[in-house]
Each structure stands twice: as C-alpha cells, then as structure tokens.
Amino acid sequence: QVLNHGLPLEVMLAAMAVAHDFFRLSPEEKAKLYSDDPAKKMRLSTSFNVRKETVHNWRDYLRLHCHPLEQFVPEWPANPPPFRDVMSTYCKEVRQLGFRLYAMISESLGLEQDYIKKVLGEQEQHMAVNFYPKCPSPELTYGLPAHTDPNALTILMMDEQVAGLQVLKEGRWIAVNPRPNALVINLGDQLQALSNGRYKSVWHRAVVNSDRPRMSIASFLCPCNSVKLGPAEKLIGEKSPAVYRNYTYDEYYKKFWSRNLDQEHCLELFRT
C-alpha cells in the first residue's frame, strides 16, 4: 500500500462516492449496459468471464477503457450525471502515479528511469469498478478467485470500511487491511517478464462476506498491444539467461482471456 502518492483525497472520495451511486441505479438502468463480451470497451458484467466459467464469482463490475479519455468517455455511463467528469479526473491522476512508480521500479532494476514507460509504448488504461454484494454463503464462492493481473501495473482503491483483498505470501493467504487514504499497488505479469523474474506478479483474490457489500476501483496500466515485450536486455547475461521469450501484449492478453482465471500462471506459457 502506498501513502503520499499525490492523488488528492477529494478526487479519491468523489470517485468512490460516484461508484456507489452507479451501483444504486435501478436494475433496469444498469441492464442497458450489460454485456458478457470481453472485447467491448465499456460494459457492465458479472463474475469474470461467464462464457468460460463453470463456477461464477460473487461480483458485479463496470469495465471501462480510459485512454485516450476523449475517445472513450462519450461511451461511459451518463448516469449518475457526475460520473464521467469525476472518473475522468481520477483516471488522469492514477495514470500519472503509475508513471511515477514505473520510474522508481526502473531505477531499482538498474535501468534508465524512463525505461519501463518507453518500452511499454503508448499504454492503454482500463478500469474495473467492482461491487461485491452481501453473499448468503460466502464459504461457497469468491468475489474473484486467485489470479495474477495480465497487465503491467494495477492501482487499487479499496473500500476502507470492508476488507476483502488477500495476497499469497510464502504459501499463505494474507488479508490486506485497508489503510486510510492508501492505494494498493499490484505488480502485473508484464513487470515480472520485463524484470526477468526479479519482480513477481502477485497472486491475489477477493473474498466476500454475508454482512456488508464492498466496493473497489481497480485501474490497470496496459502495454501497447503491438510492442514487443520480454526481459530487458540489460538484465540478461550468462549468469541470468532470459526466463521468458519475446511476445506482443495482444498475444498475451488473448491467451489470458482464453483460459480460466485461476489456472496456472499465464506467463508459464511464455517461458523460453
């Protein structure tokens, strides 16, 4: 979790408030936005990938493409009325935070400060506004099962009142308890590949409860679909050969969506 991240508190609070307002809309209003097509740039859906799953997850989510904003915002929900403006502001702030984190991660690997941002190309940005309703039998399902994120970096704003995120550490699932005004940073599969395995893409899951609903807003920074990805050349040598082959993000993302979420790590399919 990061503090002193530079996102104005009022921007974070407004985004969470308008997310709650969206999921309070009538079922008829929300049904207009529903789709189970993962290729759609804006959709309201449920679980994760209902076309592939045999067991569904206890989650509704609004999926938005966020960059460039001027291209996608006109497709976003028009209700609640402040939604587009509030979420646009939040998206801009999150994107800049992501780029600041890239610079720090690049330096920590001994790479040029702008290496990650440059090598990932003109990055796409997606958002998932997640709503986990109260679940009558939380022991029978997840909000989301164990998975890693296929993108490069995920910035998550959690519900401060209700915990639900867990991460896998040394074989044990650890609850991530929200800290006031903090943001959770998940490293995704592409940073594991780029760092030649020095950084690990974190396994995480979302659990549900029978007492209170929970909300979270996940922002995903994604490589340009066409750029060639793989370990940084500076990190490859006789003593540290390339762990992963080169590929495009388009190839990786299609492979990710063709599988169940909780299958083996998708990066395993891209080893040298």
Q: Quote the pTM value.
A: 0.91
Q: Is residue 3 part of a domain?
A: no
Q: Is the separation of the CB atoms in 223 and 98 below 8 Å?
A: no
Mark out the alpha helices in 63-217 (DSSP H runs): 69-72, 83-108, 115-119, 189-194
How many independent structural domains does the chain possess?
Answer: 1
Question: Quick check: 103 pLDDT over 60?
Answer: yes
Q: Is residue 4 part of a domain?
A: no
Q: Is the separation of the CB atoms in 185 and 146 below 8 Å?
A: no
Question: Quick check: 268 pLDDT over 90?
Answer: yes
CA angle 41, 24, 42 (to 5 degrees): 0
Q: What is the pLDDT of residues 12-30, one digit of tens each?
A: 999 999 999 999 999 999 9
Q: Which domain holds residue 68?
A: 9-270
Q: Which residue type occupies 243?
A: V
Q: Is residue 115 part of a domain?
A: yes
Q: Is residue 128 part of a domain?
A: yes
Of 222, 215, 206, nearest to 256 by C-alpha is: 222
Q: What is the pLDDT of residues 192-213, one digit of tens each?
A: 999 999 999 999 988 877 788 8
pLDDT over 90 for what percent of the chain? 71
Mark out the alpha helices in the chain (DSSP H runs): 9-23, 27-31, 69-72, 83-108, 115-119, 189-194, 249-257
Average confidence (pLDDT) over 111-137: 90
Average confidence (pLDDT) over 38-54: 67
Q: Is residue 139 part of a domain?
A: yes
CATH number for the domain spanning 227: value is 2.60.120.330
Mean residue pLDDT of the chain comes to 90
Q: Is residue 1 part of a domain?
A: no
Q: Which contiguous run of DSSP H or E holds residue 232?
A: none
Question: Quick check: 262 pLDDT over 80?
Answer: no
Q: Is residue 262 part of a domain?
A: yes
More confident residue, 170 or 141: 170
Question: Quick check: 181 pLDDT over 90?
Answer: yes
- Tokens at 79, concatenated: 């209700």
Average confidence (pLDDT) over 229-235: 96
Q: Is residue 2 part of a domain?
A: no
